[in-house]
Amino acid sequence: MTNEEFNLVRPAFGKGSIADLSSLYMRALQAKKVENVPTLMKEAIDEVDHLVFFLIDGMGHATLKNALKNYRVPALSSYLSKSIYIPITSVFPSTTSTATVSIQTGSEPVQHGIIGYTSYLRELGRIFNMISLAPLGSKDTLMPGAVYDDEDLVRLGTIYSHLKEPSVSSNLYIPNKIIDSGLTRFTGRGADIHGYYSLSHMMVTLKRNLASEKKGFHFCYLSTVDTISHKLGPQTEEVAEEVNSIFKLIDERLFEFREIEGDLGVIISADHGHIMIRPDAIIDASIDQKLIPFFAIPVTGDARAPILRINEGKMEEALDYIEERYGGHFMAVRSEDLLKMGYFGISEKRFAKEDRFGDVMLVPIGESGMIDSRLRLLDKEIDFGSLTGVHGGLSQEEMIVPLISRTKPDR
């Protein structure tokens, strides 16, 4: 894979990625001696008594640059002028399920094995939604414990469980509609979980908790930028206005709040960015009658990071056909090669079930994507056709996200 030729971004594990954020949290809260904070991130924040982290889903570096350049966003401009701003990378695939697990466990995809929006779990013989952690079409069915056994859970831990030992209170704020999702139950272990109906509701709860404690960590997940970017596009005025509103509320509600005992630090980042593509740029694998016979199961993962499982003995023939038919859209890379090159992480401690990474992944080299509409037979709610902004791939728009930090008193 030649990243430079196609303007692709390799995840900067250990040098400045969202998987490194947990070490920054621990260092800021003096939870324990942390040696592995990347040099790029060391100056982001000093030691504080209260750390609030806003994860703004879908708010890539390119989204912020576009808002500042093309729209009137005074609150965003003002906030950034008082902050430290460091571009860092997402993980691969650059998608919410993979990224949020990395952020909240401090582990790389190669360690936790959550790869993409949908994933085939060979040990269970079914395709799962990796947000609900349930089989497609069965949102209310939690993933059986056999998938993540107790040893895996203890080994990974979460940022919240790590903070318990030094007696730092941990809080997770998440929209009520996803508070009971399988992913929340997994990533929120060790935290006091607070559901909310709106950003204002979340902010009221956050301020109450800040005023009642001496030392704490607060993880606030916001989904609206991602939702608007998917439907309308990341470069729209609607996205810019939403971002501006969020920064305005953070500035006014937190940095003018006087009832906090001790120093306050606020970090804002994102799980991934978005890239705009035309609907006709998304290829439906299910209608290619020459391609489908190569597949053992339907295409899984994300439209911008499709995961292929190839029938035994068909690998070379499949790769040749994909190169011939789709070479202008994707690089077809063996998953084992991506693992060796560190695209899923650099840790030697790997998730036990490497089948989770599939046989081949398609890496978009332009504004293309691939889906498999056969998945709709399993889950009618899967949305393939109405997305303007997408993510999951290795483009700069998808991979580069902001790390924005600020302390009170202002620097």
Structure confidence by residue, pLDDT tens digits, 183-233: 888 889 899 999 999 999 999 999 999 999 889 999 999 999 999 999 999
Residue with tokens 């060979």: 122
- What's the CATH number where 373 sits? 3.30.1360.180
DSSP 218-273: EEEEE-HHHHHHHHH-TTSHHHHHHHHHHHHHHHHHHTT-----S-EEEEEE-S--
**How confident is the model over 80-95, as pLDDT tens digits?**
999 999 999 999 999 9
CA distance linking residue 239 with residue 229, whole number of Å: 6
CA distance linking residue 374 with residue 372, whole number of Å: 5
Check whether residue 237 and residue 95 sit in a common domain. yes
Q: Virtual CA dihedral for 37, 39, 43, 45, nearest 10 degrees?
A: -20
Would you say residue 142 lies in a domain? no
Q: What is the pLDDT of residue 63?
A: 98
Q: Are strands 216-222 and 50-56 parallel, antiparallel or unpaired?
A: parallel
Check whether residue 93 and residue 213 sit in a common domain. yes
Nearest to 183 by CA among 271, 98, 307, 305: 98
Beta strands in 20-147 (DSSP E): 50-56, 84-89, 118-121, 126-129, 134-135
pLDDT of 369 higher than 70: yes
Check whether residue 257 and residue 332 sit in a common domain. no
Q: What is the pLDDT of residue 378?
A: 87
Q: With bands split at pLDDT 50, 70 and 90, how would you rate the model's confidence at 147?
A: very low
Check whether residue 251 and residue 291 sit in a common domain. no
Which tokens is 35 given?
A: 């040696």
**How confident is the model over 13-29, as pLDDT tens digits?**
999 999 999 999 999 99
Q: With bands split at pLDDT 50, 70 and 90, how would you rate the model's confidence at 141?
A: low
Bridge partners (DSSP) of residue 26 are none
Q: With bands split at pLDDT 50, 70 and 90, how would you rate the model's confidence at 333?
A: very high
Nearest to 106 by CA among 22, 213, 228: 22
- What's the CATH number where 83 sits? 3.40.720.10
Which tokens is 326 given?
A: 């789709």
Q: What is the pLDDT of residue 411?
A: 43
Is residue 88 within 8 A of residue 17, CB to CB? The reply is yes
Q: What is the pLDDT of residue 272?
A: 98
pLDDT of 293 higher than 90: yes
Check whether residue 192 and residue 262 sit in a common domain. yes
Check whether residue 95 and residue 217 sit in a common domain. yes
Q: What are phi and psi of 221, to 5 degrees?
A: -100, 125
**How confident is the model over 53-75, as pLDDT tens digits?**
999 999 999 999 999 999 999 99
pLDDT of 52 higher than 50: yes
Would you say residue 119 lies in a domain? no
- C-alpha to C-alpha distances, 10 to 3, 94, 396, nearest whole angstrom: 7, 11, 9
Q: What is the pLDDT of residue 146?
A: 41
Global pTM reads 0.94
Residue 94, domain extent: 3-111+148-275+396-408
- C-alpha to C-alpha distances, 24 to 213, 251, 403, nearest whole angstrom: 21, 22, 11
Q: For the chain, how many structural domains are there in total?
A: 2
Check whether residue 198 and residue 261 sit in a common domain. yes
Would you say residue 368 lies in a domain? yes
- Residue with the bigger pLDDT between 35 and 398: it is 398
Nearest to 243 by CA among 48, 78, 10: 78
- Residue with the bigger pLDDT between 42 and 381: it is 42
Largest CA distance in the chain: 67
Is residue 270 within 8 A of residue 59, CB to CB? The reply is yes
pLDDT of 1 higher than 60: no
Check whether residue 11 and residue 40 sit in a common domain. yes
CA distance linking residue 334 with residue 70, whole number of Å: 40
Q: With bands split at pLDDT 50, 70 and 90, how would you rate the model's confidence at 309?
A: very high
Q: With bands split at pLDDT 50, 70 and 90, how would you rate the model's confidence at 306?
A: very high
CA distance linking residue 77 with residue 86, whole number of Å: 15
| Range list of H helices, 93-190 | 96-105, 109-112, 150-156, 159-164, 182-187
Q: What is the pLDDT of residue 5?
A: 61
**How confident is the model over 236-291, as pLDDT tens digits?**
999 999 999 999 999 999 988 878 888 999 999 999 999 998 878 899 999 999 99
Coil, strand, or helix at residue 359?
A: coil
Length of the chain counted residue by residue: 411
Check whether residue 234 and residue 255 sit in a common domain. yes
Which tokens is 142 given?
A: 């939690």
Check whether residue 291 and residue 266 sit in a common domain. no
